[in-house]
Amino acid sequence: MAFAAFATTTSEAEQVPRRKSPVALLLLLPGILYLVLFFLTPLISLLLTSFQAPSEFGDIGQYTYAFRWENYLQVVTDYLPHILRSFGFALIATVLALVFSYPLAYFIGVTARPWPLAQSLMLVLVIAPFFISFLLRTLAWKQILSDESFIITSLKAVALMAPDAHFTGTPAAVIFGLTYNFIPFMTLPLYTTLERLDLRYLEAASDLYAHPVEVFRKVTIPLSMPGIVAGTLLTFIPAAGDYVNASRDFLGGPDSQMIGNVIEANFLVLQNYPAAAALSIILMSVILIIVSIYVKRAGTEELL
Amino acid sequence: MRVSLGRWLLPVYAVLALLFLMVPIVYTFIFSFNDSQKSNITWRGFTFDKWLNVCNVQNGAVCEAFGNSLIIGASATVAATALGTMIAIAIVRYRFRFRSKVSLLLFLPMATPEVVLGAGLAAQFLSVGVPKDIVTIILAHTMFCISFVVVTVKARVASLDPALEEAGRDLYGSPGQVFLRITFPLLLPGILAAALLSFALSFDDFIITNFNSGAVTTFPKYIYISASRGIPAEANVVASAVFILALVIVVSAQVSSAARAKRLAKSG
């Protein structure tokens, strides 16, 4: 639910703090220490684990510290399809969520401005999915879209789907689930920027005889860029690392497993910690690279 | 013609989009009344039984998981809210070295996929030899909630008028008094919002929990484990009850703040 966070801080001018005092250190120290201990050092121990070699006794789940960089080669050759699939699925889901959310956010943030109560109630509906368990929501879709369900049997009856086709268990179902689950993360930052959009710019553009499509393309979209950047990041990052939607008990199948699924399996089932760690490091590095390039190109560098 | 079509297109789309978002929620709610047997997949008739006997299924497994989630949520919320609020005050109010490094350290947990956070902590607990139980879950949840608390409270601290605290000091209030009687009450709405957000994040977290929970079951983890053999309707009951409670809290907050805005507009 970082949406509000991301979107509001981008445009807020940073207040310049005035005082220098030892109190600051006292206030910062406990929390910063906590993050160093439980966020930073775990990343380092993940990095160390990713280079570990199996122990010489060959016991399952026993490893010794080493510099086995071949671990990375190994996981890339073993799991390249999963890695590519994760980023591919996340990218498609992000685009779908953007296309779905933009008109909705525009309606709530711009069209509905004269009715603030309606605006806030619609926002409650947008975040309502957060109030019900993420996993139950996904399972609900699995039932609603199962082979015996009303929707799928109807689609088959009107020949929009082949009689022996399935929806659940396919890559399309996983992308659908990712899109649905992360729509609120997209809609809310979009709403926050659109809600503050100065409509006089749009009027000025049409006064200058810009076609509505041109107004949208050249004025509305650039002005809502902070929301688009925040929303796409908030959707893409968790979607790329998700493994609930792609899990076989949920919407996934054998040919739709993502990097998260293999990290989970290697860590919690196979006890192949170095492989899980190497995959995590790859996931995190790729995301950080994508994010920094994307944020630079979109021109909003002060996300926090 | 084009204008009137355009005028209707967006509202109709918005209504359909919101309805689409509600589909799995309504489904989950309806199936909490299903007179189901072991699994809750086909509709077998309406009953209130599951609502009345939530804790009876599987020796109370659903309620035990729910209870664990409440304990974890409450503990992580208290810890993260305290730590995060302190950081937020320091960031807005004071000048200090390593400012940009601190910002980066606060931003990164939000930009890191949960599976990496979960695996990293699990690797650390493993190498240090800490057994995974409810404590490790609380430690993990506190970690990812801190950044969200900082962002939420920071906005509130920034909007606080320093003149109010100066007035308190001018009237010979001690620093402690000024904080307790002026700063803290003014920050309270932001702190409460941050606490609610933390609780919601912790309560619904599955991925990080799964890596750091050992044998302890939280509500989301219970659903994940049971997914293959079928979720009992009682899980839908718990989820629906939580949903209704959260909805009531949020809607009443929205309505009361709208009413307050109206009153202020009238009196001002």
- Record: contact A130-B219, CB cut-off 8 A: no
- A142 assigned to some structural domain: yes
Do A291 and A152 reside in the same domain of the chain? yes
Q: Do B21 and A129 touch (CB under 8 A)?
A: yes
Residue B214 lies inside a defined structural domain of this protein? yes
A290 touching B, CB under 8 A?
no
Predicted pLDDT of residue A1: 37
Does a structural domain hold residue A141?
yes
Q: Report the residue of B116, B154, B160 to disrupt the A interface, i.e. the one with the largest count of A CBs within 10 Å.
A: B116
Q: Does residue A51 sit in the same domain as residue A84?
A: no
The answer on A249 and A160 residing in a single domain is yes
* Structural domain for B99, as ranges: 60-236
- Tens digit of pLDDT at every position of chain B (268 positions): 445 666 789 999 999 999 999 999 999 999 999 988 777 888 888 888 888 888 887 778 889 999 999 999 999 999 999 999 999 999 988 888 888 899 999 999 998 999 999 999 999 999 899 999 999 999 999 999 999 999 999 988 888 888 888 898 899 988 889 989 998 899 998 999 899 999 999 999 999 999 999 999 999 999 999 888 888 888 999 999 999 999 998 888 878 877 887 787 777 5
For residue A42, give the nearest of B21, B106, B120 by CB distance. B120
Structural domain includes residue A74: no
Q: Do A24 and B90 touch (CB under 8 A)?
A: yes
Q: What is the CATH number of the domain that holds A253?
A: 1.10.3720.10
**Whether residues A51 and A150 fall in one domain:** no
Could you tell me if residue A73 is inside a domain?
no
CB pairs under 8 A between A and B: 282
Q: For residues A173 and A152, what is the distance between their CA atoms, to the nearest angstrom?
A: 12
> According to the model, what pLDDT value does residue B70 have?
96
Q: Record the pTM.
A: 0.89
Residue A201 and residue A64 share a domain: no
Provide the domain count of chain B.
1
**Rounded Cα–Cα distance for residues B160 and B68 (Å):** 37
Domain of residue A155, residue span = 80-298
Alpha-carbon distance A114 to A207, whole Å?
23
Q: Taking all residues of chain B, what is their mean pLDDT, rounded to a whole number?
A: 90
Residue A53 and residue A95 in one domain: no
Strand partners, A64: A53
- The residue of A20, A51, A135, A178 whose CB has the most chain B CBs within 10 angstroms, and thus the best one to mutate to test that interface, is A135
Residue A294 pLDDT: 86
A 228-247 near B (Cβ less than 8 A): 233, 237-238, 240-244, 247
CB contact under 8 A, A120 and B258: yes
**Residues A57 and A86 reside in one and the same domain:** no
Would you say residue B112 lies in a domain? yes
Any domain includes B4: no
Question: Same structural domain for residues A279 and A181?
Answer: yes
Residue A97 sits in the same domain as residue A137? yes
- Asked if A28 lies within 8 A of B96 by C-beta distance, the reply is yes
Low-confidence residues in chain A, pLDDT < 70: 1-18, 58, 299-304
Look at residue B118 and tell me if it is in a domain. Answer: yes
Final residue of a structural domain among A68, A91, A117: A68
Choose the mutation target among B115, B151, B260 for the interface with A, i.e. most A CBs under 10 Å.
B115
pLDDT of residue A84: 96
Alpha helices in B31-133 (DSSP H): 49-52, 61-93, 99-111, 114-128
A63 forms beta bridges with: A54
Same domain for A59 and A88:
no
The verdict on A41 and A152 lying in the same domain is: no
Burial class of residue B205 (count of CB atoms within 10 Å of its CB; 0-12, 13-18, 19+):
buried
Interchain proximity A1–B247, CB inside 8 Å: no
Burial class from Cβ neighbours inside 10 Å (0-12, 13-18, 19+) for residue A146 reads middle
Distance between A270 CA and the closest CA of chain B, angstroms: 13
Is A114 an 8 Å CB contact of chain B? no
Do the domain assignments include residue A110? yes
Write out residues 172-201 of A within 8 Å (CB-CB) of B.
180, 183-184
Q: Is A119 on the interface with B (CB under 8 A)?
A: no
Position B129 in a domain: yes
Closest partner residue to B123 among A116, A250, A277, by Cβ? A277
Report pLDDT for A12. 42
Q: How many other CB atoms sit within 10 Å of the CB of residue A162?
A: 9
Domain boundary among A68, A98, A118: A68
Instruction: Give me the pLDDT at residue A299, please.
Output: 63
Nearest to B239 among A20, A132, A268 (CB): A132
Cβ <8 Å between A122 and B14:
yes
With tokens 């570990």, the residue in question is A52
* B110: in domain: yes
Per-residue 3-state assignment (H helix, E strand, C coil) for chain A: CCHHHHHHHHHCCCCCCCECCHHHHHHHHHHHHHHHHHHHHHHHHHHHHHCCEECCCCCCCCEECCCCCHHHHHHHHHHHHHHHHHHHHHHHHHHHHHHHHHHHHHHHHHHCCCCHHHHHHHHHHHHHHHHCCHHHHHHHHHHHCCCCCHHHHHHHHCCCCCCCCCCCCCHHHHHHHHHHHHHHHHHHHHHHHHHCCCHHHHHHHHHCCCCHHHHHHHHHHHHCHHHHHHHHHHHHHHHHHCCCCCCCCCCCCHHHCCHHHHHHHHHHHCCCHHHHHHHHHHHHHHHHHHHHHHHHHHCCCCCC
CATH number at residue B206: 1.10.3720.10
The verdict on residue B252 lying in a domain is no
Tell me, yes or no, if A15 comes closer than 8 A to chain B by beta carbon.
Answer: yes
Output b/e per residue, B154-193; b: 16+ Cβ within 10 A: bbbbbebeeeebeebeeeebeeeebbeebbeebbeebbeb
Cα–Cα distance for residue pair B69/B73, rounded to 1 Å: 6
The minimal CB distance from B94 to the residues A2, A24, A243 is found for A24
Tell me the C-alpha distance between B199 and B22, whole Å: 22
B189: left (phi over 0), alpha (psi -120 to 50) or beta: alpha
CB contact (8 A) between residue A21 and residue B94: yes
> CA Rg, chain A, in Å?
23
Q: Answer yes or no: do A239 and A93 share one domain.
A: yes
Provide the domain count of chain A. 2
**B44 in a domain, yes or no?**
no
pLDDT in tens, B172-217: 988 889 989 998 899 998 999 899 999 999 999 999 999 999 999 9
pLDDT for the residue numbered A300: 55
Asked if B123 lies within 8 A of A42 by C-beta distance, the reply is yes
CB contact under 8 A, B84 and A48: no
Structure tokens at A44: 């380092």
Whole-angstrom distance, CA of residue B57 vs CA of residue A179 = 33
A15 part of a folded domain: no
